[in-house]
Amino acid sequence: MHSFSFFWLMLLASIVAMLGRFVKIPYTIALVLTGLVVGYFGLLPGVYLEPHILFAIFLPPLLFEAGINIHFRPLQRQWKIIGVLAIFGTVISTVLVGYGMHYLLGLPILVALLFGAMISPTDPISVLALFKRLGVNERLSMIVEAESLFNDGIAVVLFGVLQSVLVTSAFSLSQSLVSFIVTVCGGAVIGILVGAVASTHYARV
């Protein structure tokens, strides 16, 4: 990514965020509309973002910000429905979007499924803002927020597996399961350790 293009993208995102407060449009929707206009008219030069930069730098802070605001006890009570929605919902969405793109637009099936895995994780910001405005039950808000947190991890694993199949033209069920277990369980273990250390340090302070 060129630094010049990155600067203008960040500047444009900041302007959209400020204008969104005046026109009362959710930030994510305003960004999508701005992106459509910019892309359609070619107002900015093309920008290429390395996938490993996205996963290693941008995604972790977003997941951390979402996870730190979720209380453990309500999550523990609703883990079944959250797990079903996060796992099966993401997989079903990936398959439906992928096959829809394949049949409607004629994309190769693996490319279409890769696209489906990329857009299946939900962004609950606008939905939660609407829930808050309408006074929706806190249980439903927590389920939506927690599900959106966990489906990111599911989608990352799906994306990695599909990308590997697309590149190597080979699929290994055992390797996919290992990748899933390492990503989910490994991330949980690291998160618990970091959280325990941070909590102990905070308690001492």
Neighbour count for residue 80 (Cβ, 10 Å): 8
State how far Cα 50 lies from the chain centre: 16
Summarised one tens digit per residue, pLDDT across range 43-65 is 776 666 666 676 667 767 766 76
Task: Name the amino acid, one letter, at 82.
Answer: I
| CA separation for the pair 167, 106 (Å, rounded) | 19
pLDDT at 177: 73
Mean pLDDT of 185-191: 76
Q: Which residues contact 111 (CB under 8 A, 6 or more apart)?
A: 166
Query: Using one digit for the tens of pLDDT, what is the confidence trace for 75-125?
Result: 778 888 888 888 888 899 999 999 999 999 888 888 899 889 888 887 666
- Check pLDDT > 60 for residue 3: no
Residue labelled with tokens 């939660």: 128
Q: For residue 92, what pLDDT is reported?
A: 92
pLDDT (tens digit, 9 = 90+) per residue, 142-154? Answer: 888 788 878 877 8
∠ CA 2-38-115, nearest 5°, is 80
Task: Say yes or no to pLDDT of 74 above 80.
Answer: no
107: DSSP letter:
-
**Confidence (pLDDT) at 1:** 46
pTM for this one? 0.64
Domain ranges of the chain: 1-48, 50-171
